[in-house]
Amino acid sequence: MSFPTTGTPPGAAGYGNYVMVAAVSHDTRIFYNWWKLGEGGHEWREVEAPYGLPYTVLAPAVSFIPNVDIATSLNTFLAIQDLDGNISYNTNGGFGSAFHGWAPFVGGPPIKVSPAATVSTNTVFGKYDPVILATAPDGHILYNMGRRNMGLDGNGWDATGWMGLGGDVLTDAAPAAALVGDPGAYYLFVAIKGLDNQLYLNQGGLSGPFVGWRPMNFPYHTNVAPGATSAENTSVVVATDTDGRIFYTWWKLGEAGHKWLELEGDGRTDAAPAAALVGENSDYLFVVVKGPGLDAPLLINQGQLGRPFVGWQPL
């Protein structure tokens, strides 16, 4: 079953061999789908809201909460900018299970664009929630670390723990983030679209100093936010040019990035792309975009990093 047409960009994330995609319908309801690498997707399911639904008209952020065993208890995580301009989040106990209900992110800053979320696939099960990122009203990027079972507030994050990445590059779009590294030494990459429509990257260890914003050498201008994903120690950033063409680059922690490659299939989008990196070698990439226009289908492309992709197909 293909997702009905939408005017909102999707969200996506991967963990191990599992992929989750979330999308917003024209009436602002949120749906999700999931699959395991090599298998087909499921029917789209609406995210239940037994305690009320803070509707959104922006892209949902997707991530996971590793719990005990990836095969049996990989909890899913969603974050949105609700209609009050605040961050709300929702979780469930695994693919296909009921969501617990939307809750406000305690102490979260007001935002004007979508939040972002990322978690390391090297996490210690049961100890870490996703890292949450937000664009402050003045265009700076903030992040908050999830540290469950460590005596923090009831929603799993330190309500006073918002930290700025610093630097003098501002954005009017959502951030994209990839968390890599090992427990105790997690390393965060954050990509943004600058106000000059160039791509910039910042990086650093959680709670430590970041290096500052550096150009990503994207050979084109862009007018929408990038997407990002990670698996093990590999990070990927996906971006579009002003013609709507979709490109990606990738790197391993401690190594230089590869050249930007356009995804095969002549795909086009006018919104931020979403991506999920999976596979035993952390090298199989799914990219999901909204087609051009306000009444467009979701499209998906997939393939191994650096190799030909299969082309764009309806999702």
Mean pLDDT by 10 residues, the chain (315 residues): 85 95 91 93 82 75 76 78 86 84 77 89 66 92 69 49 88 96 86 98 90 97 98 96 98 95 96 96 97 93 98 95
11-314 carries CATH number 2.120.10.70? yes
Q: Which among 1, 61, 50, 56 has a CA at the least distance from the CA of 27?
A: 56
Strand order across the 234-240 sheet: 227-231, 234-240, 246-252, 261-262
Instruction: Give the type of residue at 13.
Output: A
Rounded to 5 degrees, what are φ and ψ at 45?
-120, 140
Q: Are strands 45-46 and 30-36 parallel, antiparallel or unpaired?
A: antiparallel
The DSSP call for residue 2 is: P
Strand order across the 313-314 sheet: 274-278, 284-290, 298-304, 313-314
Sign of CA dihedral 101, 107, 113, 119: negative
- DSSP assignments along 98-139, one per residue: PB---EE-TTPPP-SS--EEE--TTPPTTT--PEEEEE-TTS
pLDDT value for 14: 95
Spatial CB neighbours of 269, under 8 Å, sequence gap ≥ 6: 9, 224, 240, 244, 246, 289, 290, 291, 292, 299
Residues composing the chain:
315
Instruction: Give the type of residue at 19.
Output: V
The CA distance from 56 to 69, in Å, is 32
pTM: 0.93
pLDDT value for 92: 86
Q: Are strands 141-144 and 131-135 parallel, antiparallel or unpaired?
A: antiparallel
| Displacement of CA 190 from its chain's centroid (Å) | 11
The CA distance from 94 to 286, in Å, is 20
The CA distance from 230 to 109, in Å, is 25
The CA distance from 307 to 305, in Å, is 6
The CA distance from 34 to 140, in Å, is 32
The CA distance from 53 to 150, in Å, is 29
The DSSP call for residue 86 is: S
